Structure 1
Amino acid sequence: MIASVVRFFYPELKQEEVRKFGLLALAFFFTIGAYWMLRLLKDAIFFKVAFPASLGWLPDQGALFQPLAKTYSFVTVLVLVALYTKLVDLFEKQKLFYIICSFYAALFAGITAILIWRDVAGVEAVGRTLLAATGWVSYLAIESFGSIVVALFWSFTSSVTDTEAAKRGYPFIIAGAQVGSIAGSALNIFAEHLGGVSRLFFVATVLVLMIMVVVWYFMKTIPAEQLVGNRQAAQTEKKKEGFVEGFLAGIKLLFTRGYLFGILIVATFYEVINTIVDYQMKRQASVFPQYATENGFAKFLGIFGVATNSLALFMALLGTSYIMRKYGLTFCLLSYPIVLGLALGSLYLLYAYGNPSAAVMLWSTFGVMMLAKGLSYAVNNPTKEMMYIPTSKDAKFKTKGWIDMFGSRTAKMGGAQFVEPFKKNLPDLMTYGTLLSLGLIGVWFAAALYVGRKNAELTRKGEIVG
């Protein structure tokens, strides 16, 4: 029954691939479901829970701290990426899931316990210091979880998939992820009825544990011949390195291979833009009367998550696979910066010349962010992940680790640092943020064009990078 439904939406999938990509989609369902639930809770906790005015904080202290939190996230991920590159050499790729997910499950369980204590005993019992520390730790942990576990999943998937199979199966994986993200986001809408953010944090912890279960079952049941991706790249998997050499291997490849540096631009420049627009949207929502409370703000973020991921799911089911096969990967890489640039330009014109009300401006910014995130998840992300298929193990895991963790954090930190001087002046942020964003989009477009053409050349010649 399930296989028939899958084949209806993805008729190009081979019979033997349905199980393989189905399990990968399920693993990513739990990964993204947990991540979206947590990322929305992260902001709800940081904005509305960790720094209560009753304990002496400013009413909007969490919002004022957010740009600084993005900077601290950069430092946190720098340390974690160093540990990750060493773990890649020490353990088999599936065991990395068990180690990393166990760490996060334990950490999230501890945060859940503190939040439940707050619900039962009140903020005064927990205390100003512990509650603030919980906000900071949860923010940094969730930010790093989104970088590390998502990057690990795609590194693992690209190591067991070739380019042609990826064109057939990656849209299916993305669809599974979007169902998970919609479910995770939807639960935030009903946070108040489900017992508050502490109960949702508990659910997210269980989802992290389920990732390990699915990966274990995948390795146990999928035949060995289906676990080989690009054969030239597979020959590099036995390579071992010392800690310093392994730590630097990913960086060296990144800055000596133009193809990988191009992927860095494609994978990170949009993060700067999204960080700027995301702050505008959340700051507007946090002072909007309907969403000013803890549960009201969580509800707004839940609505945003459901809308964004519903758009991405619709595209993943009906459009992504067709676009990839009909127009090619280069077209997919170029479509995102073009559409995002047009959306940002339209938003600025509305702000500058449309005299919008606060509600119109909030929902227009919401629409731009929904489009930006939806296209990213449904088109840009699966396409850029396919760029790693004709690369070595070091490029797939170590260089990709640097790009997705360190590069992504750097981009978000850059966006946050740009926001910092304008965080109390949204009109100036709108003006200068739009100018910066359009400039970045120009560079991003050129890099996407180069990477797409180079990938086609590597695939045609049967060569790898790294």
Structure 2
Amino acid sequence: LRPVRDAMSSDWSDAQLSTIWTFTFLISFFVVSLYGYACSKIKFKLLVPSIYGIFALTFYFLFLLTNFFPSLNLINQIFYVWVSVFSLLNISVFWSFMADTYNKEQAKRLFGFIAAGSSLGAFFGPLITIFFARTVGSNGLILISATMLFIPVLIAIFLQRIKATELQNTTLSEFNEQPMGAKIFSGFKELGLNPLLLGIGIFIVLYSGMNTIFYYALKNFLTDVDQATRTQIWAGIDLAVNVLSVLTAMFGTGRLASRFGLSVTLPLVPMIITILLFIFALSPMLWTFVGLQIVRRAGEYAITKPAREMLFTTVDRESRFKAKSVIDVVIYRGADVSWGWVYTSLTQLLGFGLAGIAVIGALIASIWSLLAVYLGRYFDKHQVVGSETKS
């Protein structure tokens, strides 16, 4: 779905895309509020399967819309917005479920491997897009994706069954027959009151700044390329990212987290990005930028994301599901909107070129690195306190 969505962006100006991102933020706020309501009303054991089932049905509906109105630009914009909302809430729910399924020690060993599995699945998505984009078309890809969303429903049910047996993690298992309760906006409240969650929220804002800079720059590079070729280029980047992230996550992330802790693992990629952006500013070229994009995204998926998700093993279930979705979707998309308009202002009002944008990005990445060190140290310290308490 993502290559299909991203290929559409080159048809719009920076200002138009920023406007679409603004609508995405507003829809994200509404959807996360509905999700918070669902958390308070649906039995926990049914929550995750229900979310994935509902998303599958929405994409079947979008498939029908794109077939009945194939040339309507508004449908493309609706599709772009909905995929943007789905891509974050889907991943947020998945990692919330993982943090609830595994304890802290299991997370340090397994989250890198789980991230590798996620990337391996994403590896086949771009392959399908590359080989079938011209034969089945974008609409056919939507139908395939909608159908595949029913697979996680079955997996979620299976994991809930083995949590208390094979995994021997019985924490909160007595509450699986109940909804989480609390109010619809409790996730927003928890975010404002918990310093750790607030720190993660700021971390996401800075992460979004990096994404925006790379996304807009690459979009502008591909303005004069036809949509089918753009889709294949975006899919090719996804493919390279997923191969690299699978290898890194399988053989590196778990070892990094177990040996050096999160105070080293979490800031590693932001520090690398800082250095590479300063180097890129000296010679800004398309394929250099594509290579940097691949390294950045692979590092974030394989190292930064699983390391960040480990932080949520230290909070309660309500924060894990409700506040986390606020951070991953509302804060993320709100940051997208803000950074999108910042980028538009820098390029269209102030006349910044790619080299200047790269320098600004490097400065943002350096602040991101410092915050990552702080959050990583918090997690490592929390682990020590936990072990001392047990002894």
CA contact (8 A) 1:158 1:229 kept: no
Matched, 1:333 2:266: yes
2:308 equivalent to 1:376: no
Residue 389, structure 1, aligned to residue 352, structure 2? no
TM-score (norm 2): 0.90
- SS of the residue corresponding to residue 84 of structure 2 reads helix
> Judging changes above 3 Å, is the alpha-carbon distance between structure 1 residues 61 and 449 closer, same or farther for their aligned structure 2 residues?
closer
What is the CA-CA distance between 1:335 and the residue it aligns to?
0.3
1:224 to 164, 181, 191: 164
Find out whether 1:316 has 2:249 as its counterpart: yes
Q: Distance in 2 between matches of 1:437 and 1:98?
A: 39
* Correspondence 1:346 to 2:279: yes
Return the letter of the residue paired with 2:55: Y
Secondary structure of the 1:98 match is helix
State, as a whole percentage, how many aligned pairs show the same letter.
23
Q: Secondary structure at the match of 2:283?
A: helix
Determine whether 1:71 maps to 2:22: yes
User: Counterparts of 2:292 and 2:150 in 1: how far apart (Å)?
Assistant: 34
Matched, 1:293 2:226: yes
Partner residue in 1 for 2:334: 410
| 1:52-84 Cα distance to aligned partner (Å, 9 max, x none) | xxxxxxxx4466522211111111111111111
CA distance in 2, matches of 1:426, 1:308: 33
CA apart distance, 1:112 = 1.8
Whole-Å separation in 2 of the counterparts to 1:239 and 1:114: 34
Per-residue Cα deviation, 1:120-153 (whole angstroms, up to 9, x for no partner): xxxxxx376xx22211211111011111111011
Is the 2:28–2:330 Cα contact (8 Å) retained in structure 1? Answer: yes
Take 1:144 and 1:337, find their aligned partners in 2: how far apart are those partners?
A: 25
Q: CA deviation at 1:190?
A: 2.0
Contact 2:180 2:318 in 1 (8 A): no
Pairwise CA distance, 1:326: 2.1
Deviation of 1:193 (Å)? 4.3
Q: Take 1:385 and 1:132, find their aligned partners in 2: how far apart are those partners? A: 37
Is residue 2:40 matched to residue 1:89? Answer: yes
CA distance in 2, matches of 1:234, 1:165: 17
Q: 3-state SS of the aligned residue for 2:312?
A: coil
* TM-superposition CA deviations, 1:377-436 (whole Å, max 9, x none): 000000110001011112211211111011111221122111223556897152443343
Cα 1:163–1:427, aligned 2, differ >3 Å: closer, same or farther? same
Helix, strand or coil at the partner of 1:286: coil
Map 1:32-43; keep pairs closer than 5 Å: 38-43=1-6
- Hey, what's the Cα distance between the residues in 2 that align with 1:399 and 1:228? 26
For the Cα contact (< 8 Å) 1:115–1:198, is it kept in 2?
yes
Select which of 101, 125, 128 maps to 1:184: 125
Shift of 1:212: 1.2
The 3 A distance-change label for structure 1 pair 218 and 240 is: closer
Correspondent of 1:115 among 66, 86, 91: 66
2:85 is matched with which residue: 135, 139, 144?
A: 144
Matching of residues 191-210 of structure 1 within 5 Å: 191-210=132-151
* Partner in structure 1 of residue 198 of structure 2: 261
Aligned equivalents of 1:230, 1:271: Cα separation in 2? 35
| Aligned residues of 1:285 and 1:362 also touching (Cα < 8 A) | no
Please state whether the residue corresponding to 2:341 is helix, strand or coil.
helix
In structure 2, what is the Cα distance between the partners aligned to 1:253 and 1:69?
Answer: 29
Structure-2 residue corresponding to 1:17: none
Q: Which runs of 5+ in 1 are unaligned?
A: 1-37, 48-59, 118-125, 352-360
Q: CA deviation at 1:276?
A: 1.4
Q: 1:63 to 1:411 in 2, by over 3 A?
A: closer
Which amino acid in structure 1 is aligned with residue 109 of structure 2? R
Q: 1:177: Cα distance to partner?
A: 0.8
Between the aligned partners of 1:106 and 1:74, the Cα distance in structure 2 is 22
Tell me if structure 2 keeps the 8 A contact 1:266–1:384.
Answer: no
Superimposed CA distance per residue, residues 143-192 of structure 1 (whole angstroms, 9 cap, x where no aligned partner): 11111111011111111211111122212211111111111112222234
Deviation string, structure 1 residues 271-323 (Cα, Å, up to 9, x no partner): 11111121111220232xxxx11211111111111011111011012211221
Corresponding residue of 1:29: none
Answer with 152-161 or 322-331: which moved more.
322-331
The aligned residue for residue 121 of structure 1 is none
Q: Secondary structure at the match of 2:149?
A: helix
What residue is the counterpart of 1:34 in the other structure? none
Question: Hey, what's the Cα distance between the residues in 1 that align with 2:340 and 2:192?
Answer: 25
Runs of 5+ unmatched residues, structure 2: none
| Structure 2: distance between partners of 1:98 and 1:274 | 29
Partners of 2:323 and 2:196 in 1: how far apart?
12
Deviation at 1:226, TM superposition (A): 4.8
CA contact (8 A) 2:261 2:380 kept: no
Determine if contact 2:9/2:219 at 8 Å carries over to the other structure: no
Structure 2 counterparts to residues 98-109 of structure 1, below 5 A: 98-109=49-60
SS at match of 1:224: coil
Aligned: 1:401 with 2:325: yes
TM-score by length of 1: 0.77
Label 1:311 to 1:204 Cα distance change in 2 as closer, same or farther (>3 A): same
